[in-house]
């Protein structure tokens, strides 16, 4: 893991087409702005398990019990 310190308004670039900007810092919360191509999915960590739970598992039966 790469750990970087950034101040308000500073940016981090990932590759040529993703830019992360610190847009606000308030009472221990940091707001980030992310600029990326529309085909790059961006998820919050707490939503990742839900994303996998929506789709049925491979080889799972879809017949109701």
pLDDT score at 47: 86
pLDDT along the chain (65 residues), means of 10: 96 97 96 97 85 53 46
Cβ neighbours of residue 51 closer than 8 Å, sequence gap 6 or more: 43
- Compute, in degrees rounded to 10, the torsion defined by CA atoms 8, 14, 15, 16: -30
């Amino acid at each position: 893991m790469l750990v970087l310190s950034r101040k308000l308004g500073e940016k981090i670039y990932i590759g040529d087409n993703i830019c992360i900007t610190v847009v606000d810092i308030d009472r221990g919360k940091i707001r980030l702005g992310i600029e990326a191509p529309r085909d790059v999915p961006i998820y919050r960590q707490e939503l990742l398990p839900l994303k996998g739970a929506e789709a049925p598992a491979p080889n799972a039966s879809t017949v109701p019990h």
